[in-house]
Amino acid sequence: MGYDIAIDGPAGAGKSTIAKKIAEKKNMIYVDTGAMYRAMALFMLREKVNLKDTAEIAEKCKDAEITIKYEDGVQCVFLNGENVNGLIRTEEVSEAASKTSAVPEVRKKLVSLQQELALMQDVVMDGRDIGTKVLPNANLKIYLTASSWVRARRRYDEFLAKGESADLEEIEKEIRERDHRDMTREESPLKQAEDAILVDTSDMTVDEVVDRIIGLIK
């Protein structure tokens, strides 16, 4: 019997940082499902699909083959055979992913892929619907969150660290908008699973969060 951990929560709560560390410590595979939705969004942008046209997105997504491979322990997402890891972390792709991930056909395709990955190995999977939909029987479910201000502040600091300028208020506004879209969409909205444990990271360091979750692993 395998052991799977589901980590859900809004953008900027620290899911990927935390999930990666837990996977490393526990010798599990980290699966970043957001990267798959981002690769799909990149495909739609390249194909110049109208992001308001749900039917067009549903049709087009049939032409996008998304696959995952691990190179030196790092997850690489491939779009029709091309490694797109370096192209999916832009604001444009974030916005597009939030829109295209609301389309049922997109979700169906990527959820199957995620479930297949979890069948093959013990995973720490992060996303929005992992505990509610993708891995309803996960051994441990965490709902990771932080206030929108703290999440905006973290993103702002990341921009500064890269030597880029940023507008903190603008970032918080975008985070709130994305939260709203992710939480109110009809198909698999972001919400805490009934059996998930809430961890608010607003006043916690990364190591504190990792220790807390590792302490919950039975």
Q: Tell whether residue 33 is a contact of ligand DC (CB under 6 A).
A: yes
Report whether 121 contacts 2 (CB < 8 A): yes
Judged by beta carbon, residue 1 or residue 110, the one nearer ligand DC is 110
Specify the stretch interacting with ligand DC by CB under 6 A; choose among 56-64, 75-83, 125-133, 161-169: 125-133
Report whether 21 contacts 209 (CB < 8 A): no
Q: Is the dihedral of CA 93, 29, 202, 8 positive or negative?
A: positive
Instruction: List the x/- string, 38-77, binding to ligand DC by CB under 6 A.
Output: x---------------------------------------
Q: How far is 165 from 114, CA to CA, in rounded Å?
A: 35
Report, in Å, the least distance between residue 34 CB and ligand DC.
2
Q: Tell whether residue 124 is a contact of ligand DC (CB under 6 A).
A: no
Report, in Å, the least distance between residue 100 CB and ligand DC.
8
* Touching ligand DC, residues 95-114 (CB under 6 A): 97-98, 101
Report, in Å, the least distance between residue 155 CB and ligand DC.
11
Judged by beta carbon, residue 128 or residue 141, the one nearer ligand DC is 128
Half-sphere exposure of 208 (CA within 13 A, CB side): 8
Residue 112 DSSP one-character state: H
Q: Tell whether residue 20 is a contact of ligand DC (CB under 6 A).
A: no
In sequence order, the 6+-apart residues with CB closer than 8 A to the CB of 94 are 11, 38, 178
Specify the stretch interacting with ligand DC by CB under 6 A; choose among 60-68, 122-130, 168-176, 205-213: 122-130
Q: Tell whether residue 182 is a contact of ligand DC (CB under 6 A).
A: yes
Report whether 118 contacts 31 (CB < 8 A): yes
Tokens of 83: 């490694």
Q: Tell whether residue 37 is a contact of ligand DC (CB under 6 A).
A: yes
Question: Alpha helix locations (H) across the chain?
Answer: 15-26, 33-46, 54-60, 91-100, 104-120, 148-161, 168-184, 206-216
Which residues contact ligand DC (rule: CB under 6 A)? 11, 33-34, 37-38, 97-98, 101, 127-129, 178, 182
